[in-house]
Amino acid sequence: MTDATQSDTAFRPKPSLPPPANTVGAVGWLRKNLFGGPVDTILTVVSLYLVYLIVQFAIEYGIINAIWSADTYRECLDINRGEGACWAGIGVWFNSMMYGRYPDEEQWRVNLGGIILLLWLIPFWLPKITGKIQIGMSAVLTFPFLGAALFLGGEFGIFLHVMASVALTLFAAVWLHVATTYVFGRSLAELLVSATGFAGKDDRLHKYVLLGAFGVGFVLSLVYLGSWDLVEIPTTIWGGLFLTLVISGIGIASALPNGILLALGRRSKMPVIRVFCTAFIELFRSVPLITILFMAVTMMPLFLPVELNPPKLAMVIVAVCIFAAAYMAETVRGGLQAVNKGQYEAAQAMGLNFWKMMALIVMPQALKLMIPNIVGSFMGLMKDTTLVSIIGLYDILLMGKAAGQNPNWLGFHTEPLLFTAMFFFVLCFAMSKYSQHLERTIGGGYGRR
């Protein structure tokens, strides 16, 4: 342009030489990342050999020598002498490992429950939706009751009936909300208020509209649930992955609220509450889950009156909830300590009371900081759920063991273990990736890389 024409004598750098051929392209990448020096080269070679060994074994055991169709384990053994997997057995026992002894013709209830939960949580990932916290809370707090009513069936009692109706109403509300948001661009609440002509009136009146709408929905679902006529499926025949997910699901859902309460109790200024919460947390954090489970099945029957006699699953769930809450409490406490003291003081200066300060100022910051740890505890809990097999609940692991005791499948032992491991890997890996995603999107802005 104009500069270039000013003078031919001005300094003009020659174009850079291309980088040496061995520092770019595939060769460069290899040199830089794999063969940087003698030590690097040795490490690379050793690693490559390791990878080769693992892959070779996996292919031989899992594919080349594996048997894909057989009626008994003996058939598999006769063909491959145990040198390959007998995936045929997984096919035969797949249904059992998923649902336990839940009757085949009723398994749609489990599937339906799973679908409802998924649908309930989908709005979480939809960008336009408002009130995601409320949606999440409604799912966590009320879905267990709807699930219990659906999975249990039979005469489930007035309490469960009411709670399940609440859940159903909220579920319908969530999806109506999604629909109105996408169709009319307004939230369900706004739409209801304006449709009933309350839009111009005092804000305080709006909640009556919402309560009224909720009441109508509630009555409708109460009647609808009353029309249900499901066969009763006692908890003793629940099993497989379904049972694993029920136990860890309730544990996970209850962990955060209970953990927050315990953590607040431990930091409370009231000595009795502080001592009680500290003792509770320390007691249940310092013993292995397996002892708590043993306690639930061997000691609780002695602690409770004979007439009460709760089923084993209920006691195990309570044990898992207690354990999860104690762990979560320490995680939350870590988050609370990390929140700057100025935040507390500012909140108090604004005249917020204790619960408002916690809910609006402190907790959002503390929990954001702790997302990786919270998800880590959830994953830990999910993995620990396998321990219920030791005390005789038919989760996916024990169901796999039971398969190996069937006269036709005697010795069928390693394949269910591998199958179970694969399931947990997929579930937990997905959770950990999601937590990293969360950390990047909402946990940002706190000085983390």
- Contact flag: residue 406 with other proteins (CB under 8 A): yes
**Interface region with other proteins, contact rule CB under 8 A, candidates 5-13, 60-68, 182-190, 277-285:** 277-285
If the CB atoms of residues 8 and 202 are measured against other proteins, the closer one turns out to be 202
Q: How far is the CB of 15 from other proteins (least distance, A)?
A: 31
User: Total binding residues for other proteins by CB under 8 A?
Assistant: 127
User: 46 or 126: whose CB is closer to other proteins?
Assistant: 46
Write the binding mask 106 to 135 for other proteins: x where contact by CB under 8 A, - elsewhere: ------------------------------
**By CB under 8 A, residue 278 contacts other proteins:** no
Among 186, 206, 267, 401, binds other proteins (CB under 8 A): 401
Q: Taking CB under 8 A as the rule, does residue 162 contact other proteins?
A: no
Closest CB 140 distance from other proteins, rounded Å: 8
Per CB under 8 A, 273 contacts other proteins: yes
Q: What are the residues whose beta carbons fall under 8 Å from the beta carbon of 420, sequence distance 6 or more?
A: 97, 386, 396, 397, 400
The CA-CA-CA angle for residues 200, 204, 205, to 5°, reads 60
Q: Does 378 bind other proteins (CB under 8 A)?
A: no
In angstroms, what is the minimal distance from the CB of 364 to other proteins? 13
Which positions from 201 through 220 interact with other proteins, judged by CB under 8 A? Answer: 202, 204-205
Can residue 329 be called a binding residue for other proteins (CB under 8 A)?
Answer: no
- In the list 178, 315, 339, 371, the residue contacting other proteins (rule: CB under 8 A) is 315
* Residue whose CB is less far from other proteins, 76 or 213: 76
Among 257, 344, 352, 439, binds other proteins (CB under 8 A): 257
Minimal distance, residue 11 CB to other proteins, in Å? 33
Q: Of 53, 199, 231, 290, which lies in the binding site for other proteins, with binding defined by CB under 8 A?
A: 290
Question: What is the nearest approach in angstroms of other proteins to the Cβ of residue 1?
Answer: 41
Long-range contacts of 180-187, Cβ-Cβ distance < 8 Å, separation of 24 or more? 181/128, 181/129, 181/130, 182/128, 187/130, 187/131
305: left (phi over 0), alpha (psi -120 to 50) or beta: beta
Rounded-to-integer distance, Cα 364 and Cα 358, Å: 8
Taking the complex as a whole, the smallest distance from the CB of residue 274 to other proteins amounts, in Å, to: 10
Q: How far is the CB of 177 from other proteins (least distance, A)?
A: 19
d(CA 229, CA 97): 27
Q: Is the dihedral of CA 110, 112, 116, 118 positive or negative?
A: positive
Binding segment toward other proteins, per CB under 8 A, in 176-184, 210-218, 343-351, 418-426 = 418-426
Positions in 347-366 near other proteins (CB under 8 A): 355-356, 359
- Binding flag, residue 341, other proteins (CB under 8 A): no
Residues in CB range of 323: below 8 A, 6 or more apart: 251, 284, 289, 292, 381, 384
Q: Does 383 bind other proteins (CB under 8 A)?
A: yes
First to last CA, the chain: 42
Task: Give the one residue of 272, 342, 349, 441 binding other proteins; rule: CB under 8 A.
Answer: 272
Strand partners of residue 100: 238
Which of 22, 23, 56, 291 touches other proteins (CB under 8 A)?
291
Smallest distance, other proteins to C-beta of residue 98, A: 12
Comparing CA positions, the residue from 213, 120, 93, 130 lying closest to residue 174 is: 120
Closest to 391 measured CA to CA, from 293, 318, 287: 293
Measured between alpha carbons, how far is 381 from 375 in angstroms, rounded to an integer?
10
Cβ-based neighbours of 153, under 8 Å, separated by 6 or more: 106, 109, 228, 230, 231, 232, 233
Could you say which of 116, 152, 168, 370 contacts other proteins (CB under 8 A)?
152
Residues 6 or more apart in contact with residue 182 via CB below 8 angstroms: 128
- Considering the rule CB under 8 A, would residue 304 count as an interface residue with other proteins? yes
Does residue number 186 form part of the binding site for other proteins (CB under 8 A)?
no
Q: Give min distance, CB of 272 to other proteins, in A.
A: 4
Nearer to other proteins, 125 or 355 (CB): 355
What is the b/e burial string over 208-243, where b = at least 16 CB atoms within 10 angstroms of the residue's CB? ebbeebbeebbeebbeebeeeeeeebebeebbbbbb
Length, in residues, of the chain: 449
Report how far Cα 247 is from the mean position of its chain's Cα atoms: 11
